Amino acid sequence: MELVTQNQCFGGTQSVYRHLSEVCGVEMTFGLYLPPQARTRPVPLLWYLSGLTCTHENAMIKAGLQRHAAEEGLALVFPDTSPRGEGVADDEAYDLGQGAGFYVNATQKPWARHYRMYDYIVTELPALLQEQLPLNGINGVTGHSMGGHGALTIAFRNPSLFRSVSAFAPILNPTRSDWGRKQFSAYLGDDEAHWGMYDACLLLSELGWQGDILIDQGSADQFLGQLQPEAMARLMAERRQAGVLRMQAGYDHSYYFVASFGEDHVRWHAERLNAA
């Protein structure tokens, strides 16, 4: 890992690293916050997966999670949302290509060469972080919008890696959404039988989840039609899945929404990760 920047933050350190990813075939950049407790003992790690058009910087700068993480003794990692750079496939649309990896392993040309964000988040980056940083191997995951989709689908498929999962305004049923069908068709092909492994509602129905789930959704979110929180609410009720989906009156899809409830999510994860 090559250290790009490092700043003191709430008694800990906020760093940015880059490394050559074998999975994605390019240099990848991520943000990493270590709380002050990491100076004396290994700490749990909370992953934050960002949404469409974001880089590692958006949540790192705007969400305000470091103060709460410092108080709770959690490390934070902010991965990028896709591979980037010259030679990496892209599209003119904001919701496909660079900045829009959707946390899938692409199987279709020209995306398959670099767009393997599922393996990057599940396999490569965890191993790198665990090897080089004072982490205790206990992980939680959260995310916003496309990143909320990533957090839920990755956690549901990897319960041995992630002990806790939450999301802010996640894309919950992408196989039935404009934010999903377009991208899955491009990255995974037109056979919808291959899409279900990246749909939170379908995965929860098939696999369940061992713990509880926290989802916050703004009632004034301009993208409610694409996010489909009602599909997850019905499913959680039908399955009697432990957890809560909270509709927050008046909040939209912005980072002001994430920052408003970020403390709730960090403390919620800390209760589960520090008790593990």
Q: Report, as residue numbers or ranges, the catalytic residues.
A: 145, 221, 253
Quote the Cα angle for 199-93-262, to 5°. Answer: 55
Residues 6+ apart with CB under 8 A from 263: 68
Pull the structure tokens for residue 239. 């399955």
Measured CA to CA in angstroms, residue 270 lies from 45, 208, 215, 263 at distances of 9, 22, 16, 10
CA 161 – CA 212 distance, rounded (Å): 15
252 and 217 Cβ atoms separated by less than 8 Å: no
CA 172 – CA 160 distance, rounded (Å): 22
127-148 burial, b for 16+ CB within 10 Å, e for fewer? ebbeeebebbebbbbbbbbbbb
* Cis geometry, peptide bond prior to residue 159 (ω within 30 degrees of 0): no
Pull the structure tokens for residue 265. 């999510």
